[in-house]
Amino acid sequence: MRAKTILLTSLIFIIFAIQANASELAIEFNIVGNTAVVEQAYIFNETQSLTFNLPETAKGVDIYIDEERQASDIKNNRITATGKTIRLVYASKEFIEGETFIANIPFQTGLDRATIRVIGDKNEVLEKPINYEDLTSNSVFPKPSRLVSDGQKIIITWIREDVKKGDELSIFVKFKEEKNYPFFIIAGLAAIVLILCYLLLSKRSKKTEIQSQTEEKPLQEEQAENKSQKEQKYPEIEKHLKEDEEQIINILKQKEGHCEQGTLVIITGFSKAKLSAILKELEERKIVYKEQKGNKNIIHLKTE
């Protein structure tokens, strides 16, 4: 009996020691319109010092050390804090592009567990439905650990164990607004559309072909003009590009000539090492150039 008691006491002590040495990080992105309210909470067993790189659009920055609010001493969009429990709260438009959420999360310290959560705006749903059997969807990358709804908002959670210092997690979520209109509104809109279509067709039937040609710019001329403007902005550089290089250049053109390196990883599906090698080759050939903003690399397409 005494031996069992000693063994049980030892097991309890070991479990307590493991928990006491645990280090955890919880990050929550709560989307409201075109802004994300961000809350990062680190929990350590021993006092740690961390430096946070804030987005340029960060507002309402609050920092809590050991559950006490501290003065926010921000220098060059950076804030440093030291403590066993560190919590940072701010709002930023950095992570929202239209209805798409994109974030690249670098881990500056080793962690036993990291939990990242994205909470969609009210009445937002995923652009592509999710398979709840294996939690896969083209609208969420990478595959989440959990995905639930509280009836109004979608809550997506990623959990990572044994995180190494220098690891990164890139997250992409494509939302769309769920519109639930009453039947009488839908019927009214349908009637208005039908009336407008009838009036438009009646008006067109009274116009002659010559009048139509003089009042409307031919589509081919408009397309040629748009093509000419695009070629002037971005000179023809595809002639000597490999297939992977051409894919990156096309993405940059679609993104108005610049894009975050983390976003390129998500869109292309390339590994970080492969993408870095391709970008290095394009930089040496003076096709693109890299700009560092905080902890992010912005890839620009040269216009000359």
pLDDT in tens, the chain (304 residues): 444 444 333 333 322 333 334 699 999 999 998 999 999 999 998 998 888 999 999 999 999 999 899 888 888 889 999 999 999 999 999 999 888 999 999 998 899 999 999 999 987 889 888 888 888 888 899 999 999 988 788 999 999 999 999 999 999 999 988 765 555 566 677 778 888 877 777 777 666 554 555 554 555 555 555 555 545 555 556 667 888 888 888 888 888 888 988 888 888 888 889 999 999 998 998 889 999 888 888 999 887 6
CA distance 31 to 297: 24
Encoded tokens for 236? 């023809």
CA distance 75 to 184: 55
Closest CA to 275 of 251, 245, 302, 242: 245
Quick check: 31 and 124 in contact, CB under 8 A? yes
Encoded tokens for 189? 């809109």
Angle, CA of 86, 43 and 32, to the nearest 5°: 60
Among the four given CATH numbers 1.10.3470, 3.30.1370, 2.60.40, 2.60.120, the one describing domain 2-177: 2.60.40
User: On the CB side of 12, how many CA atoms lie within 13 Å of its CA?
Assistant: 6
With 0-12 / 13-18 / 19 or more C-beta atoms within 10 angstroms meaning exposed / middle / buried, residue 241 is middle
SS3 25: strand
Angle, CA of 86, 91 and 96, to the nearest 5°: 120
CA distance 59 to 284: 38
Q: Which residues pair with residue 39 across a beta bridge?
A: 28, 89
pTM surpassing 0.85? Answer: no
CATH placement of domain 234-301:
1.10.10.10
DSSP 81-130: EEEEEEEEEEEESTTEETTEEEEEEE--S-EEEEEEEEEPPTTEEESS--
Quick check: 96 and 36 in contact, CB under 8 A? yes
SS3 193: helix
